[in-house]
Each structure stands twice: as structure tokens, then as C-alpha cells.
Amino acid sequence: MNFGCDYYPEHWPEERWTKDIQMMAEAGFNVVRLAEFAWSKLEPEEGQYDFDWLDRAIKILAENRIRIILGTPTATPPAWLARQYPTIFRVDEKGIRSSFGGRRGYCPNSSIYRDYSQRIVLELAKHYKNNENVIGWQIDNEFGGLCYCKSCLKEFRKWLKEKYSTLEQLNKEWGTIFWSQTYTDWDEIPLPRQLDTAHNPSLLLDYRRFISDSYISYQKLQIDILRKSYPHKFITHNFMGLFNGIDYYKLAEPLDFVAWDNYPNLKSMEENKSLANENIVKVSLSHDLMRGLKRQNFWVMEEESGPPGWEYVEPTPPPGRIRLWTYQAIAHGADGILYFRWRTSRFGTEQFWHGILDQAGVTTRRYEEIRKVGQELQSVGSKLIGLEFPQEVAILTSYDEQWAFGIQPNNPQFNYQEHFASYYRILNRWNIPVDVVSIRADLSKYKLVIAPALFLINDELVENLKEFVKKDGTLIITFRSGVKNWNNVVLEEPLPGKLNDLLGIEVVEYDSLPSQQKCKLKLIYPEIEPLSGECNIWCDIIKCGGAEVIGRYAQSYYKGEACVTINRFGQGCAIYIGTNPSPEIKESILKWATEKSGVRSSFPADSKDLEVVLRRKEGKNCLFFLNHSGEDNHVKLDSAYVELLENRKYAKGSIMTIEPKGVKILWET
Ligand code: GAL
């Protein structure tokens, strides 16, 4: 297992390095990330490079058998560069330019910034070319941020020209006849800066795509340099879980693997049970999303290891929590974990963002906990690397859909990520392993696919879904699907547009509900236990073509009309949920859909706080039991296993206790 921390030797006197690094080695660390914010120390003056200090740190690390991931330092331009070229900074929606003092303030389209970034990366690449202790690279740090500067404007117009070829085509696709917005010259097209009214939704969506592509092409500049010098070393970037400012599928494509930064929100986690549960599920969902970006295992490049905080200090991870997060990550597909950060800084913006050690630099409770994990991983870590995930259920997502809903949520209570999570949460609670994958992914391996709110639709997507259903797949699609084409223009066909024949329905009318308003509904399908409940946010009023009715509204002027349907298509079936039912109703539908499609739970435990994740390796099952609660959990084992952490055998039928915040890893014998 790749196990370590994010280390900033430049923040500490050199005399201290050896002690720090020895302590890291004692904790079982075998990898650290270095230098991702160290530009001013690596190039103190333009063209004057100083890598000696980094070489010395790397040498001591290597002597302690700790390998290095080097971060390219481009998230924090040095002051001399900022002073010379203030235009490298981003401009906000109101036209105000950012300036030196923070981080990540640069514009990805600034040709000056691109040029200077390439130079420092090239120097690093040349210098570390033959250094065997550097095993890979992290490009920049957590890409993201919108910009409305002149360079972006120029590049946006170029991007549009490439996409639409002619202005005539752009005018047609965007519907610029509306409000007299027809363009007669490419130079008339604006960036969507702040106005009194909203911009054209097609322009807004293309702008989001353009910004995303800008970071992707900025990343490529660096990748191209590093690949040339380092064809045999890995390149990654640290992603941000549920952040949706960039199309992460595209950003991940040229990388060897995805790494991400996991900062679970501990606020109220210990006191408020339901909030705590939400947070835990959010972490699992983020891991699954990250694994789905390349459909391969990932790393956690920054794992919370102390109380976070800039101006305020947030709760401290209580005993056992860091260990539990570590195994939760491994269970969901992490092949590497690095804790952020080694030692809490004495100065700078993040002086209260605590790491493993406090500023005092002595052993902490958190260090001891991590050292224990290090010991465990030294004995079982190699078994836990490269685990495979069973592929029975997928939930589909796309950044285009998220951006389109960001521009027009349709209903003030509708939040795409929350809608998505409401289905994930149920499956997670039943310990059903879920792949979160792109809407373009090959679905042939899955039994059940959930496609929440496919607002934008195109033929390729419809074909992918039809292929899946035809071959005995069970598909669930939810409301606000099939509404628009890929340019964010509403389709002419009756809803759900291109999905009509797959779903065998027509949405003849809809009702967007005011906040707090609920509508009653009933599940009436013979295969599902009859159940009355409620829904909110949105009500599609459905006329069935070939589909059968699963649920009907029991209130309002559409009382008796269909709201949930099922349509046989080829050998499979497509279910449409035309509203946002309460969790109980969703559970009922999902329970039936999972049973019907033969989807299995990793382990049918009935405790909300016990997460069980099934993985596989070399044909053997491996079960992670993660007790997120403060109480013991007991389970009866369905087969004989060896528990890896205690190296203890459990016979079939025996009762295993998982202590509060405890972890058990069972290996099939
Ligand atoms: C991450 C970032 C780190 C550090 C941490 C705590 O997002 O990558 O450099 O800033 O947050 O704020």
C-alpha cells in the first residue's frame, strides 16, 4: 500500500528534517508529496533555479525508504512573476481582477502564465529526470475557478468557432433570435459577465465547458513536458470529490490514475447521528465517483488528519476516526493514502489547518493512530492493493447535466447532487456496491443502472441506454429527463423526448411544487407491497403508451394519474420515476428493482452505521466492515473467513463484533 503524507520541508529548519522523516518512517510511511506550493523557493528570481534544498530533503527521505511524488508548483505563482504580469490573475464576473496574496488565482488561458508554467515544469523535469526516488508527479493543485478576462474572451470565441464552424450555425444552435441576440461577427460574442438578467442558457453551458477545457489544456501543457522526460513515471492530479467546476472525466483521461483530497465534514458528526450518516455516505459517494472517473482504483492524495480550519478551528477527528477513514478509502478503491499534512504550519493562511503533528512537533494521539494503521498496512497492505469492485449496479452522471441544472435548477429545491445522492444513499445503506460512472460508460456489465435526471439528451446516450436495457438490463430514469439537446435547447418532441419509446410513456404536463408543498402518492404495482407516501419538488403527469403503472398520485388535480411507470424493452425494463418520492417510497421501488435484477448486497447488515463493502481479488471475496457508530455492532458470518487485521479465523455462523469506529477485513478462505 502507498502510505504517507504531504510534507513541506521548506516550512521548517533543515536541522529538523531528519527527525521528521525518521518519525514518518516509524509510522510506516513509504511515500510523500512535496513542493506543490514551493515555486518561490524553487525559482527565487526569474530564471534562477534552486533545487538544492529539495534534493537534500529527497535524499533524507530516500535514506529512510520514502519515495517522492513531486507537485508542480503552479498553483502559487511567485511574487516577482505576479508583480511583473498582473494580467496572469483571473477576472471575476463583475470585471474585477484578482491579485497576489492567495493561491489558485491565475487564469488558465493567460499565455504569459502558460509560458512561465512550462518553464518551471521543464526545469524540474530536467533536474529530476534520473532521480529514482521521484516516482511520479502531481500536476498543480486542485484545478478550478472561473475567469472572465480578455484572454478568456479571445479563447472562448476561438473555442466556439471550432465547435460551430460558422456563426450561422452558432446562432441557430443557441437560438440567438431570442431577445435580438443574433451575432454578425465572432467578436460580438461576450463572456457571461454579470448582468441584470440571465444570459442565454446555451452560451452559459458552453462557457462552463470552455473553462473546463481551459484547465484540461493547461494540464496538458505540463503533462506533455513530463511525459517526454518521464515516460515510465506516473502523473496524477489531486481532484476534489464532488466539486463540479471541471469535467473530471475529461481531466482524468490523460492521467495515469486519479488522486483526490478527502476532507469529510466533521461538524456535528459526533452528536448528530443523521448528519453524521449523511457525511459518511458523502465520503463513500466521493470515493466511488473518483473510482469511476477512469474506472480504476485511485489514491487519496490528502486525507484529513487533524482539526481543519483557517479562521475557525473545526472539530478534531476523535480516536479511531482517521483509521476508519483510511480503511473506508481502501474499501472503496484507494491504492494509496497520504495524510494532509505532516506538521501543522506555524504561519500562513493555514496555520490552523492541523496535520498529523501540531506546531509543537511532538508525538500526538493522531500520530499514534496513524502509526498503528502503518503497522497494520505493513503486514496486510499488499493484499489490499489492486482490489476489484463487483459491477452489478451503476449510477450515471455527467458534468454537462450538472452544469445545465446549475444554470436552471428548474425548481429552487432541486439540487442535482442531492437528487443523485438520494438514490446512492439507499443502496449504500443496504451495502450494495455501486459504481458511479459516466453516462458514456459501457454498461454491459451491470444488472441495474440508475440514471438520475438526464436533462440533456443525445442519440449516443439514448442508444447506450437502449443497448443496456435490451440485453436484460433494469434501468431507472428520473424526472426532468430528455428535456434538452446537448446545446441546452429544449427539444420539440413531447417529453421525455428521445426516451419516449424506451420508457413507453409521454409526460403530458408537469407541476413544479412550491417549497414545503408535498403531494400524496401510492405504489400500486402487483409486484411491490402497496404503499402510500409523499413526494415533493416536481410532479410529471404521465400517460402510458406501452408502459405499466407502478405508482399514482393521490392528491391534487392529477390525483389518479401515473407518476412511476415500467416499460418492457427488449429483454429488460425501463422504470421512470416522474417525481421526487420520499425516502420510504424510493426504498420500496429500489428494493423491488434490486431483487428483480438479481443485485446482491455485500452483506445484509441492518445497522445504518455499519458500512460493509465487498471487494474481490484473485477470485476471493474480501469484505470490509466499517463501524461508523459509537457502539458495538455484531454480525453473524455466512461463511468461513480470516480476519486480516487481527489475523484471526472465524468459522461459518460465528458472531463477529465490530467495536465502535472499528474495522474488520474478512478474506474468504
Ligand atoms: C486542500 C488543498 C491543500 C490544503 C487543504 C486545507 O484543498 O489541496 O493544499 O489547502 O485543502 O485547506
Mean pLDDT of the region 578-588: 98
Beta bridge partners of residue 434, listed in sequence order: 393
Q: Which of 36, 302, 401, 643 is the catalytic position? A: 302
Q: Which residue has the cell 417549497?
A: 515
CATH number of the domain residue 615 falls in? 2.60.40.1180
Cβ–ligand 1 contact at 302 (below 6 Å): yes
pLDDT band, very low/low/confident/very high, at 248 (cuts 50, 70, 90): very high
Round to the nearest angstrom and report the end-to-end CA distance of the chain: 22
Rounded to the nearest angstrom, the distance between the alpha carbon of 125 and the centre of ligand 1 is: 24
Whether the CB of 143 sits within 6 Å of ligand 1? no
What is the torsional sign of CA 139, 102, 40, 355?
negative
pLDDT (tens digit per residue) in 321-338: 999 999 999 999 999 999
Percent over 90 (pLDDT), the chain: 94
What's the 34 CA to ligand 1 centre distance in angstroms? 13
> Residue 602 domain-assigned?
no
Residue 433 lies in a domain: yes
Return the residue whose CA atom lies nearest to atom 10 of ligand 1. Answer: 350
Q: What is the 3-state secondary structure (H, E, C) of 564-624?
A: EEEEEECCEEEEEECEEECHHHHHHHHHHHHHHHCCCCCCCCCCCCEEEEEEEECCEEEEE
Q: How many residues does the chain have?
A: 669
| CA-wise closest residue to 539 among 564, 560, 512 | 512
142 lines ligand 1 (CB under 6 A): yes
267, pLDDT greater than 70:
no
For residue 467, which of 563, 574, 540 has the smallest C-alpha distance?
574
Position in ligand 1 atom list of the atom nearest CA 238: 8
Q: Which residues of 434-467 are buried (b: 16+ CB within 10 A; e: fewer)?
A: bbbbbbebebeebbbbbbbbbbbbbeebbebbbe
Helix runs in 175-265, H state only: 201-229, 248-252
Q: Is 344 in the pocket of ligand 1 (CB under 6 A)?
A: no
142 part of the active site? yes
What the block records as the C-alpha cell of 33 is: 508529496
Give dist(CA 168, CA 176) in Å, integer.
10
Q: Is the pLDDT of residue 654 over 70?
A: yes
How far is 141 from 104, CA to CA, in rounded Å?
A: 8
Do 415 and 379 lie in one domain? The reply is no
CA 286 to CA 339: how far, in whole Å? 17
Nearest CA to ligand 1 atom 9: 141
The C-alpha angle with vertex 603 and arms to 550 and 339, in degrees rounded to 5, equals 110
Q: What is the pLDDT of residue 143?
A: 98
Q: Which whole-number Å values give the CA distances from 310 to 16, 314, 519, in the listed order?
A: 25, 9, 43
User: Residue 272: pLDDT above 80?
Assistant: no
Burial category of 334 from C-beta neighbours within 10 Å (exposed 0-12, middle 13-18, buried 19 and up): buried
Same domain, 471 and 536: yes
Could you tell me if 123 and 271 lie in one domain?
yes
| pLDDT tens, position by position, 334-358 | 999 999 999 999 999 999 999 999 9
Burial class (CB in 10 A: 0-12, 13-18, 19+), 348: exposed
Angstrom distance (rounded) from CA 374 to CA 29: 7
Catalytically annotated residue among 36, 142, 304, 376: 142
CA 601 / ligand 1 centre spacing (Å): 35
- Mean pLDDT, the chain, as a whole number? 96
CB 471 within 8 A of CB 571: yes
Phi then psi for residue 536, to 5 deg, are: -145, -175
Are 374 and 455 members of one domain?
no
Q: pTM above the 0.85 mark?
A: yes
Q: Is the pLDDT of residue 605 over 90?
A: no
User: What pLDDT does 230 receive?
Assistant: 79
**Based on the domain organization, do 458 and 421 belong to the same domain?**
yes
Q: Please, which pLDDT band fits residue 275 given cuts at 50, 70 and 90?
A: low
- Residue 64, in any domain of the structure: yes
Pairing of strands 518-523, 531-544: antiparallel
Q: What pLDDT shows up at residue 452? A: 98
Contact at 8 Å (CB) between 288 and 332? yes
Instruction: Please give the full DSSP string across 150-175, using - where no structure is assigned.
Output: HHHHHHHHHHHHHHHSSHHHHHHHHT
Stretch 275-287: mean pLDDT: 84
Tell me how far CA of residue 273 lies from CA of 37, 277, 281, 380, 608, in angstroms: 38, 6, 12, 32, 10
Task: Kindly report the number of other CB atoms within 10 A of residue 478's CB atom.
Answer: 25
pLDDT at residue 58 greater than cutoff 80: yes
Residues 495-524: what's their mean pLDDT?
97
Between the CA of 216 and the centroid of ligand 1 the distance, in Å, is 20
The span from the CA of 397 to the CA of 289, in Å, is: 9
Do 440 and 513 have their domain in common? yes
270 has pLDDT over 70: no
Predicted confidence (pLDDT) per residue in 189-226, tens digit: 999 999 999 999 999 999 999 999 999 999 999 999 99
Using the predicted structure, report yes or no on whether residue 271 has a pLDDT greater than 90: no
pLDDT of 614 over the 90 cut: yes
Domain end, chosen from 342, 362, 384, is at 384
Q: Which amino acid makes up residue 579?
A: T
Count of domains in the chain?
3
Which parts of 230-364 fold into alpha helices (H)? 248-252, 273-294, 321-331
pLDDT tens-place string over residues 154-203 = 999 999 999 999 999 999 999 999 999 999 999 999 999 999 999 999 99
Q: What is the CATH number of the domain that holds 17?
A: 3.20.20.80
Please confirm, yes or no, whether 302 is among the known catalytic residues.
yes
Ligand 1 neighbourhood includes 141 CB (under 6 angstroms):
yes
Q: Which of 574, 597, 620 is the last residue of a domain?
A: 597
pLDDT of 269 over the 70 cut? no
- The rounded Å distance from CA 338 to ligand 1 centre is 13
The whole-angstrom separation of Cα 284 and Cα 278 is 10
Whether 258 is covered by a domain: the verdict is: yes
Distance between CA 578 and CA 562 in Å, rounded? 8
Ligand 1 pocket, mutate which of 69, 141, 260 (most atoms under 8 A from CB): 141
**Cβ contacts of 158 within 8 Å, gap of 6 or more:** none
Please say which residue of 384, 416, 445 terminates a domain.
384
Over the stretch 372-407, which tens digit does the pLDDT of each residue have?
999 999 999 999 998 999 889 999 999 999 999 999
For 446, the domain range is 393-597
CA dist 257 and 244 (Å) reads: 18
The answer to whether residue 130 is domain-embedded is: yes
Spacing, Cα 304 to ligand 1 middle (Å)? 10
